[in-house]
Amino acid sequence: MANPFKSTAESLKGMGITLKNFFSKPVTVQYPEQVRNLPARVRGRHVLHRYDNGLERCIACMLCSGTCPADAIYIEPAENDPGKPNSPGERFAKVFQVDMLRCIFCGYCQAACPTGAITLENNTALATYTRTSMLYNKQDLLEPVGTATRGAALAWEPTPPPEAKPLIPDFKGVFDGWETTAAAVGRGNLPLEVKEPGAPKPLRKAAPVVPPGDATPKALPGSTIQPADEEGQS
Ligand code: SF4
Ligand code: SF4
């Protein structure tokens, strides 16, 4: 038989906890009339960023799309018009779409991006009534013209957790490499180094022209692996 004194003591103890919390301030927030301040590192809806000079940071390298475990990012790259480029690289994202129904908000795309072009911001109000409105296109994601922020990248920079890769550091000075390389490392804002006054800016290295017959890979010196012949047999 249960000890009646022990049961009463346990009941009083439980009622004491109820009484203690009865007079404390409620923590419930009347959403959506009231909105809580979320931490800066909350992973919500994506934003595509620009450089201060207005160019898009995204160079359509596809790393975010390739690393996405949910296959939620679709990109169609296009060549930049050198006279009126969209981004400082060779390519820009003509189509950039994130399927929020697939996204698991892991942040891998942000971590993979070499230019700081994509971040997950603390906008979590994504509820909607249709599937198609959960497909966010470039015009929904890209910062408006005249805006250039780093977004949540800054929130991750000061004290990143040990498992996080450092994001794009701020860098002053000139970039002494190729323009496309500057864009690829997120330094599309930097003026390029011009070694002699009046010398043309380096734009991009011309791709080597490979004659069709020479396109077959050659075996490396010392390698025992032979390249496949024309019929695909080794
Ligand atoms: S947050 Fe994760 S799941 Fe969502 S788009 Fe980025 S990589 Fe894909
Ligand atoms: S990783 Fe960055 S630069 Fe590359 S396609 Fe994605 S958003 Fe654009």
Query: What is the DSSP secondary structure assignment for residue 86, as one 8-state letter?
Result: S
Q: Is residue 46 part of a domain?
A: yes
Per-residue pLDDT band for 180 (boundaries 50, 70, 90) equals confident
Global pTM value:
0.70
For residue 101, give the nearest of 75, 124, 76, 132 by alpha carbon: 132
Any idea what the CATH number is for the domain that residue 53 is in? 3.30.70.3270
Q: What is the mean pLDDT of residues 63-71?
A: 97
Letter for the amino acid at 218? K
* Mutation probe of ligand 1 site: the residue of 58, 64, 97, 106 with most atoms within 8 A of C-beta: 106
Residue 220 lies in a domain: no
> Total structural domains in the chain?
1
Domain span at residue 143 reads 33-196
Which residue owns the Cα nearest ligand 2 atom 4?
61
Q: Measured from the CA of 62, which atom of ligand 2 is nearest?
A: 5
pLDDT at 23: 87
Contact 142, 149 (CB under 8 A): no
The DSSP-derived string for 162-219 is TTSPP-PPP--S-B-S-HHHHHHTT-TTSPBP-SSTTPPPP--PPPPP--GGG-SPPP
Report the atom number in ligand 2 closest to the C-alpha of 60: 5
Average pLDDT over residues 212-229: 51
Residue 222 lies in a domain: no
Contact 6, 12 (CB under 8 A): no
What pLDDT, on the 0 to 100 scale, is given for residue 232?
42
| Mean of per-residue pLDDT scores for the chain | 82
In a domain, 13, yes or no: no
More confident residue, 164 or 110: 110
Q: What is the pLDDT of residues 134-175, one digit of tens each?
A: 999 999 999 999 999 999 998 887 676 777 766 665 566 677
Quote the CA–CA distance of 222 and 67 in Å, as a whole number. Answer: 34
Q: By mean pLDDT, which of 14-23, 100-109, 150-159, 173-182 is the weakest?
A: 173-182
- CA–CA separation, 213 and 223 (whole Å): 22
Q: Which residues are 192's β-sheet partners? A: 175
Does some domain include residue 28?
Answer: no
Q: Is residue 209 situated within a structural domain?
A: no
